[in-house]
């Protein structure tokens, strides 16, 4: 019997109920075994993030990720049948209209998502409302928006450094909360502004990444946390392991062992 078969998946309401009670750890997952391992470790919130474009597919940024890419990896994660709530990013240019947003979100829900996430605030409110009206739980994403990195010259910039930026972020967060988003990722938002947003939003949890300690939860790209992508690590991450280096060293030692075995056989 599959030990995961009897588990009941956490709901968006369960995650929201953590606000003010206990911090929410969240991580990305892109495949079946990783999802099971993270679930067994007790992570309550998982995201099939479009960061897979860089750390799995080898693209320079998330703008190359397609809906088919996301569906493929989501289905693999969903097969783990986790207790953790699993969500999925709507990839670049799949939610330019409310109709497109709902169509893409429905496909992801059919593939096993428990919520969808999209980048932006007031400018995508029609899409957010349409998704929510379709009965699909929604998570926002404010601050540094990876899908817009090319529009910002390819640079990942910290947001909320001036009064205008702070107010814009706060207004967008409150608008997402009012629309019905249960959560919002705050990426590279200055910590004081992230703290302000967290305090102001009573019916939406904030999940920080590089935005200080005062959000309701924290999310990282799992390969960053465990050193699984050793060629680049964000400055705000301190890897707890170096799995990439360990794999490389282990395989190199095995290669040497095989080569020496063949040399002995020939001599």
User: Using 50, 70 and 90 to split pLDDT, how confident is the model at 263?
Assistant: low
Question: How many whole angstroms separate alpha carbon 34 and alpha carbon 32?
Answer: 6
Tell me the average pLDDT across 189-210.
98
pLDDT given for residue 72 in this prediction:
98
Tell me the average pLDDT across 89-96.
98
Q: Is the pLDDT of residue 136 over 80?
A: yes
CATH class of the structural domain 12-241: alpha beta
95: helix, coil or strand? Answer: coil
Question: How many whole angstroms separate alpha carbon 133 and alpha carbon 127?
Answer: 10
Q: Is the pLDDT of residue 265 over 70?
A: no
Mean of the per-residue pLDDT values for the chain?
95
Tell me the average pLDDT across 187-201.
98
Per-residue CA distances from 263 to 125, 250, 252, 253, 255 (Å): 66, 20, 17, 15, 12
pLDDT given for residue 267 in this prediction:
58
pLDDT digits (tens, 9 = 90+) for 145-192: 999 988 877 778 899 999 999 999 999 999 999 999 999 999 999 999
pTM for the full predicted model: 0.93
Q: Is the pLDDT of residue 202 over 90?
A: yes
pLDDT given for residue 143 in this prediction:
97
Contact 115, 160 (CB under 8 A): no
Burial 27-48 (b: 16+ CB within 10 A, else e): bbbbbbebbbbbbeeebbbbbb
pLDDT digits (tens, 9 = 90+) for 17-74: 999 999 999 999 999 999 999 999 999 999 999 999 999 999 999 999 999 999 999 9
Q: Is the pLDDT of residue 253 over 50?
A: yes
Q: Which residues contact 138 (CB under 8 A, 6 or more apart)?
A: 115, 116, 117, 118, 128, 131, 132, 179, 180, 181, 182
Tokens of 215: 């959000």
Residue 262 or residue 203, greater confidence: 203
User: Using 50, 70 and 90 to split pLDDT, how confident is the model at 1?
Assistant: very low
Q: Determine whether 123 is an active site residue.
A: no
- Active-site annotation holder among 100, 123, 152, 187: 187
Q: Is the pLDDT of residue 242 over 60?
A: yes
């Amino acid at each position: 019997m599959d030990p995961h078969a009897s588990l009941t998946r956490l709901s968006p309401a369960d995650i929201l109920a953590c606000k003010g009670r206990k911090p929410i750890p969240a991580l990305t997952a892109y495949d079946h075994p990783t999802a099971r391992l993270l679930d067994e470790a007790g992570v309550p919130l998982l995201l099939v993030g479009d960061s897979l474009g860089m750390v799995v597919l080898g693209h320079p940024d998330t703008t190359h990720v397609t809906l088919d890419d996301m569906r493929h990896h989501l289905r693999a994660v969903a097969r783990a049948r986790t207790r953790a709530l699993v969500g999925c990013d709507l990839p670049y240019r799949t939610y330019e209209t409310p109709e497109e947003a709902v169509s893409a979100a429905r496909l992801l829900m059919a593939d096993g998502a428990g919520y969808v996430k999209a980048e932006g605030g007031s400018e995508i409110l029609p899409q957010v409302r349409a998704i929510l009206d379709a009965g699909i739980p929604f998570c926002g994403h404010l601050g540094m928006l990876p899908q817009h990195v090319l529009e910002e010259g390819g640079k990942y910039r910290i947001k909320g450094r001036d009064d205008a930026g702070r107010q814009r972020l706060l207004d967008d967060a409150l608008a997402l909360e009012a629309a019905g988003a249960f959560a919002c990722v705050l990426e590279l938002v200055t910590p004081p502004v992230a703290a302000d947003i967290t305090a102001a939003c009573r019916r939406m949890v904030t999940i920080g990444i590089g935005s200080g300690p005062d959000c309701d939860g924290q999310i990282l790209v799992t390969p960053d946390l465990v050193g699984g992508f050793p060629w680049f690590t964000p400055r705000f991450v301190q890897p707890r392991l170096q799995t990439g280096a360990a794999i490389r060293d282990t395989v190199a030692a095995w290669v040497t062992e095989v080569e020496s075995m063949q040399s002995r056989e020939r001599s």
